[in-house]
């Protein structure tokens, strides 16, 4: 069984994003970049399925600038067998990314596609669902548990106030939520090994996909800043302030 | 222009977040709504009473199909021809369904909007709220989810809309609904709680973390945690508040022993009132806290409970 895992290169989750002075976007030059944390969970799940003997091949994909190959190397150091870089300097949106992935799915014919539920840069939470829609295949978003058996996958999903279980015929699309697993750190020998794993480079044009964004950014601004409040000396004063001043209890 | 709002309901009662989505939709045009599920008939009656709603479309379904994204996304795509915009509150359900609908319509969705500038232009947070992006859509139809805390909900009574039945299409198949398990916790959900009490590294261990429970019970609060507390195993990661966890905006957020790493602040800084208790006076959490107490939380926590009991 083959798994396709799309991964995105984003500003590291520990770095505070800075809005560019001209308000055109968020500064990424000279900023530490990492694999989107939810995509790490997706890669980890694929690797665990391979370790269980359910999966035979893991293909990592990234769509973006040439540096996204670092992210693919990370995926391969975690356990992906090979990777595909779809190079573009156009701003990626879930719709255009889903179209690229659809073309790759038709070429690679994976049984499962596991994605992070959301990228922590644009916070769209849409690519997996859109890919499933374009392919006309079943989807299970926000997965916290994945079990593959007898040509189907049973997924426990996080929903508001609890969980839901769905069973999907393969091929299917899964998006990973936080509770699915804890991703491993790539070991040094595996990082070295990943350098030798194959990486194919193509462009959206090779796949016949038009990347033109549908959303144009009018401006990007800092949110209104919170001011530091006051320090209090006692629990009694706090309760009094919360009751009489802030009126929240 | 007419706008379709896909409503979330619980046992027939329309969720407040969905009434906020109706408020947002009203800024764009006339409002029709869609309700689905086994209790759709009750939900439709509740929806028809919401002022400003012109028409309620109901799908009564007892097979579990309406729990699945595939047929509901197909239904919304079928209905889309009559509407300029399709909206829903940003819930797990809407996030599951609407992007799929958007793909079927060849539209790029616009999630989590916090303001509407005009029919094509919307403001939405990116980087977990570290920046606000104003985006203009070139798509003929807009598929939008609404961050409920940014729009005051419309009233729940006073309207008198017509109700129409619609049928759920079969969808592409391949998916089967198995079960839903709602958590039995007496506490409110983290993301919709009015008060959140969160613990961090300063709670020291799993045993101590439980000391937050009486305070949370006293305030009717949900319990949250920082990533540090989750990473150290004090609580499971469903409690995590932050960029990679839950994003919360309660009326009152109490941070106990949380230093205030960027990734945590991203998940809670839109709270109305923030209280921080930390022994380190330089902790970054104090830069966003309305009220701070510098001190040992294990001393302050029982005092806080005693004061709350005293005050009634």
CA A144-A145-A149 angle, to 5 degrees, is 155
What's residue B289's pLDDT? 97
Which residues touch A186 (CB under 8 Å, ≥6 apart)? Answer: A74, A77, A78, A194
Q: Identify whether B179 is part of a domain.
A: no
Q: Report CA A236 to chain centroid distance, whole Å.
A: 45
Q: Are B252 and B195 in contact (CB under 8 A)?
A: yes
3-class DSSP string for B215-262: HHHHHCCEEEECHHHHHCCCCCHHHEECCCCECCCCCEEEEECCCCCH
CA–CA dist B72, B177 (Å, integer): 13
Average pLDDT of span B243-247: 76
Q: Specify the number of domains making up chain A.
A: 1
Is B183 a domain residue? no
User: In the predicted model, is pLDDT for residue A26 greater than 90?
Assistant: yes
In this prediction, residue A180 has a pLDDT band, given cuts at 50, 70 and 90, of very high
3-state secondary structure A122-154: CCCCCHHHHHHHHHCCCEEEEEEEEEEECCEEE
Residue B174 lies in a domain: no
Binned at pLDDT 50, 70 and 90, residue B130 comes out as confident
Closest residue by Cα to residue A233 from B129, B293, B120: B293
Chain A neighbors of B126, CB-CB under 8 A: 26, 121-123, 220
pLDDT of residue B311: 67
Return the pLDDT at B225: 97
* Domain-terminating residue out of B165, B183, B216: B165
Of B144, B165, B186, the residue at which a domain comes to its end is B165
Helix (H, G, I), strand (E, B) or coil at A210: coil
Q: Do B47 and B123 share a structural domain? A: yes
Q: Is B263 annotated as a binding residue?
A: yes
CATH code (residue B23): 3.40.50.620
What distance, in Å, lies between the first and last C-alpha atoms of chain A?
55
Count of the separate structural domains present in chain B: 2
- pLDDT value of residue A156: 97
User: What was the pLDDT predicted at B238?
Assistant: 77
Average pLDDT, chain B: 93
**Cross-chain residue pair B304–A235, CB shorter than 8 Å:** yes
- The reply to whether A249 falls in a domain is no
Q: What is the mean pLDDT of chain A?
A: 96
Which of A16, A157, A242 to probe the B interface (max B CBs under 10 A)? Answer: A242
Answer whether A216's CB lies under 8 Å from A182's CB: no
| pLDDT, tens digit, 9 for 90 and up, residues B186-237 | 788 787 789 999 999 999 999 999 999 999 999 999 999 999 998 898 998 7
Taking the C-alpha atoms of residue B193 and residue A179, their distance in angstroms, rounded to an integer, is 21
Residue B29 distance to chain A (closest CA, Å)? 21
Question: Same domain, yes or no, for B213 and B148?
Answer: no
Do the domain assignments include residue B243? yes
Beta strands in chain A (DSSP E): 2-6, 9-11, 33-35, 57-64, 82-87, 112-116, 139-149, 152-159, 162-169, 172-176, 199-202, 215-221, 230-232
The answer to whether the CB of B15 falls within 8 A of the CB of B89 is yes
Instruction: Look up the CATH number of the domain holding residue A146.
Output: 3.40.50.620
Q: Each residue of B214-233: b (16+ CB within 10 Å) or e?
A: ebbeebebbbbbbbbbbebe
Round to whole Å and give the CA distance between A187 and A182: 15
What tokens were used for B3? 């706008």
Contact indicator for B71, B170 with CB cutoff of 8 Å: yes
**Domain presence at residue B189:** no
Nearest residue of A to residue B252 by CA position? A248
Q: Calculate mean pLDDT across residues A9-16.
A: 92
| Residue B113 domain-assigned (yes or no) | yes
- Give mean pLDDT, residues B156-165: 96
Residue B171: pLDDT band by 50, 70, 90 thresholds? confident
Question: Of residues B57 and B16, which shows the higher confidence score?
Answer: B57
A105-136: pLDDT as tens digits = 999 999 999 999 999 999 999 999 999 999 99
In angstroms, what separates the C-alpha of A224 from chain B's closest C-alpha? 9
DSSP state of A16: P
Both B32 and B143 in one domain: the answer is: yes
**In whole angstroms, what separates CA B221 from the centre of its chain?**
16
B200 marked as part of a ligand binding site: no
What is the mean predicted confidence (pLDDT) over A50-60? 98
Put simply, the answer to whether A223 touches B182 (Cβ < 8 Å) is: no
Instruction: Give yes or no: residues B108 and B38 share one domain.
Output: yes
Report the range of poorest mean pLDDT among A49-53, A83-87, B150-154, B294-298.
B150-154
How much is the average pLDDT of A32-52?
98
Domain-embedded: residue A26: yes
Q: Residue B15: pLDDT above 80?
A: yes
**So what's the pLDDT on residue A110?**
98
> Is residue B184 in some structural domain?
no
Mean pLDDT of B292-303: 97
pLDDT at B248 over 90: no
Are B69 and B91 in contact, with CB atoms under 8 Å apart? Answer: no
Together in a domain, B21 and B117: yes
- Structural domain containing residue A124: 2-244
For residues B160 and B203, state if they share a domain. no
Structure tokens at B69: 């994204």
pLDDT for the residue A122: 96
Per-residue pLDDT for B156 more than 80?
yes
Range of the domain at B205: 195-311
pLDDT of residue B196: 97
CB burial readout A176-205, b (16+ within 10 A) else e: bbbbbbebeebeeeeeeebeebebeeeebe
Report the pLDDT value the prediction gives residue A205, as an integer from 0 to 100. Answer: 98
């Amino acid at each position: 069984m083959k798994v396709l895992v799309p991964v995105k290169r984003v500003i590291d989750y520990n770095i505070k994003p800075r809005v560019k002075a001209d308000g055109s976007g968020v500064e990424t030059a000279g900023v530490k970049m990492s694999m989107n944390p939810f995509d790490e969970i997706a890669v980890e799940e694929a690797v665990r399925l391979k370790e269980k003997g359910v999966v035979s091949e893991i293909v990592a994909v990234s769509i973006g600038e040439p540096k996204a190959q670092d992210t693919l190397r990370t995926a391969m150091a975690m356990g992906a067998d090979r990777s595909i870089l779809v190079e573009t300097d156009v701003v990626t949106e879930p719709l255009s990314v889903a179209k690229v992935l659809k073309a790759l799915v038709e070429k690679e014919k994976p049984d499962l596609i596991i994605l992070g539920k959301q990228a922590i840069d644009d916070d769209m939470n849409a690519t997996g669902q859109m890919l499933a829609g374009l392919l006309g295949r079943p989807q299970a978003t926000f997965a916290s548990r994945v079990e593959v058996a007898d040509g189907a996958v049973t997924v426990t999903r996080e929903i508001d106030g609890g969980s839901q279980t769905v069973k999907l015929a393969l091929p299917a699309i899964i998006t990973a939520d936080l509770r699915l697993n804890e991703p491993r750190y790539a070991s040094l020998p595996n990082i070295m090994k990943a350098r030798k794993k194959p990486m194919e480079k193509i462009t959206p044009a090779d796949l016949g996909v038009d990347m033109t964004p549908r959303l144009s950014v009018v401006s990007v601004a800092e949110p209104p800043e919170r001011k530091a409040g006051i320090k209090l000396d006692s629990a009694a004063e706090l309760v009094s302030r919360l009751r009489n001043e802030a009126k929240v209890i | 222009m007419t706008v379709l709002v896909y409503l979330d309901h619980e046992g027939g009662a329309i969720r407040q977040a969905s009434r906020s989505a109706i408020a947002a939709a009203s800024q764009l045009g006339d409002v029709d709504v869609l309700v689905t599920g086994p209790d759709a008939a009750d939900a439709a009656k509740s929806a028809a009473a919401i002022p400003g709603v012109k028409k309620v479309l109901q799908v009564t379904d007892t097979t579990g199909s309406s729990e699945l994204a595939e047929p509901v996304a197909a239904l919304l795509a079928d209905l889309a021809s009559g509407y300029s915009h399709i909206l829903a509150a940003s819930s797990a359900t809407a996030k599951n369904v609407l992007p799929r609908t958007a793909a079927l319509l060849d539209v790029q969705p616009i999630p989590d909007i916090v303001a509407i500038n005009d029919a094509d232009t919307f403001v939405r947070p990116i980087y977990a709220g570290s920046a606000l992006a104003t985006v203009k859509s070139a798509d003929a139809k807009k598929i939008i989810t609404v961050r409920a805390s940014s729009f005051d909900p419309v009233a729940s009574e006073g309207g008198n809309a017509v109700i129409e039945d619609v049928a759920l299409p079969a969808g592409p198949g391949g998916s089967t609904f198995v079960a839903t398990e709602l958590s039995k916790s007496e506490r409110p959900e983290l993301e919709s709680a009015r008060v959140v009490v969160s613990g961090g590294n300063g709670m020291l261990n799993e045993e101590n973390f439980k000391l937050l429970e009486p305070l949370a019970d006293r305030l009717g609060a949900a319990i949250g945690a920082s990533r540090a507390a989750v990473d150290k195993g004090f609580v499971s990661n469903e409690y995590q508040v932050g960029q990679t966890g839950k994003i919360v905006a309660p009326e009152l957020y109490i941070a106990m022993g949380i230093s205030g790493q960027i990734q945590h602040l991203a998940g809670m800084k839109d709270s109305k009132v923030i209280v921080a208790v930390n022994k380190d006076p330089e902790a970054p959490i104090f830069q966003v806290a309305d009220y701070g107490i510098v001190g040992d939380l294990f001393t302050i926590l029982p005092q806080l409970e005693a004061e709350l009991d005293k005050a009634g």
